[in-house]
Amino acid sequence: MNKNNLKTVVKEKYSQIAQQSKKQQNETSCCGTSDCCSSVDYAIFSEDYTRNEGYNSAADLGLGCGLPTEFAGIEKGDHVLDLGSGAGNDCFVVRAIVGESGKVTGLDFTDEMVEKAIDNNKRPGYPNIEFVKGDIEDIPLKGDSYDVIISNCVLNLVPDKEKAFSEIFRVLKKRGHFCISDVVIEGKLPEKIKQDAEMYAGCVSGAIQKHKYLEIIKNAGFNEIKVHKDKKIELPNPLLLKYMTLDELRNFKRSKTGIFSITVSANK
């Protein structure tokens, strides 16, 4: 599929997720309560947020693949941008760190997610959290504006990652930095998986090689690039068997191919 079609697939998928609870999402995703795997189980990637100060259960749809705030070096008073903020999960955690003197901006290109995030902020009513609609490849925000940028399992969904990291560089303040959790690949995925739209929306087939991901960051002008966490993700066999024979699955398991969740930071 071309770039625009991929974006349409992602937007439709996450619009649907925005209208579900975390429980409903897990039940309708791969290997939930259904007998067959119809999509990717996002719980495979997600980590536990419940112990984080500022945690808002209504905003936690289980869509992340790490805890970028854990290594982001966010300080009180910082202005932080969350790319692909979804229902606001990371934004509420960030708000607890930056305090009343800081500011948190969540950016998402899905109307339903932005609306859900705004609704989730009605009860706490934080005046220094805002949610705006926008595309990561063309961020509708001023340059040199943010101390820290975070993102959680989103950049793999962006077709033009070079443009995305160029935009991240643009909107960061001088000496600002980012911390991103994302999905990358080591080795070669089967072609059927790479071509599947559902696997793309599920953060798998849109992932690129780890070395290429880090190279894009470097080429965008960032320095002091550091990988803080590198965790292998095991996709369930019933899902993989949708795309390969049993013999191919055995060979795949024996190969060095792997899908990894990484958390990486870098400085402008």
pLDDT of residue 31: 32
Asked if pLDDT for residue 148 goes beyond 90, the answer is: yes
* Residue, of 10 and 138, whose pLDDT is higher: 138
pLDDT of residue 16: 79
Global confidence as pTM: 0.84
Mean pLDDT, to the nearest integer, of 131-158? Answer: 96
Mean pLDDT, to the nearest integer, of 209-233? Answer: 95
pLDDT of residue 250: 87
Mean pLDDT, to the nearest integer, of 11-27? Answer: 66
Q: How confident is the model at residue 185 (pLDDT cuts 50, 70, 90)?
A: confident
Asked if pLDDT for residue 40 goes beyond 50, the answer is: no
* Residue, of 187 and 217, whose pLDDT is higher: 217
pLDDT of residue 22: 54
pLDDT of residue 234: 78
Mean pLDDT, to the nearest integer, of 141-166? Answer: 95
Asked if pLDDT for residue 35 goes beyond 70, the answer is: no
Mean pLDDT, to the nearest integer, of 122-134? Answer: 97
> Three-class SS string for the chain?
CCHHHHHHHHHHHHHHHHCCCHHHHHHHCCCCCCCCCCCCCHHHCCCCCCCCCCCCHHHCCCCCCCCHHHCCCCCCCCEEEEECCCCCHHHHHHHHHHCCCCEEEEEECCHHHHHHHHHHCCCCCCCCEEEEECECCECCCCCCCEEEEEEECCHHHCCCHHHHHHHHHHHEEEEEEEEEEEEEEECCCCHHHHCCHHHHHCCCCCCCEHHHHHHHHHHCCCEEEEEEEEEEECCCHHHHCCCCCHHHHHHHHHCCCEEEEEEEEEEC
- pLDDT per residue as tens digits for the range 68-84: 999 999 999 999 999 99
Share of the chain above pLDDT 70, in %: 82
* Residue, of 28 and 239, whose pLDDT is higher: 239
Q: How confident is the model at residue 194 (pLDDT cuts 50, 70, 90)?
A: low
Asked if pLDDT for residue 1 goes beyond 70, the answer is: no
pLDDT of residue 34: 33
Instruction: Name all domains of the chain by residue range, CATH numbers in brackets.
Output: 3-267 (3.40.50.150)
Asked if pLDDT for residue 27 goes beyond 50, the answer is: no
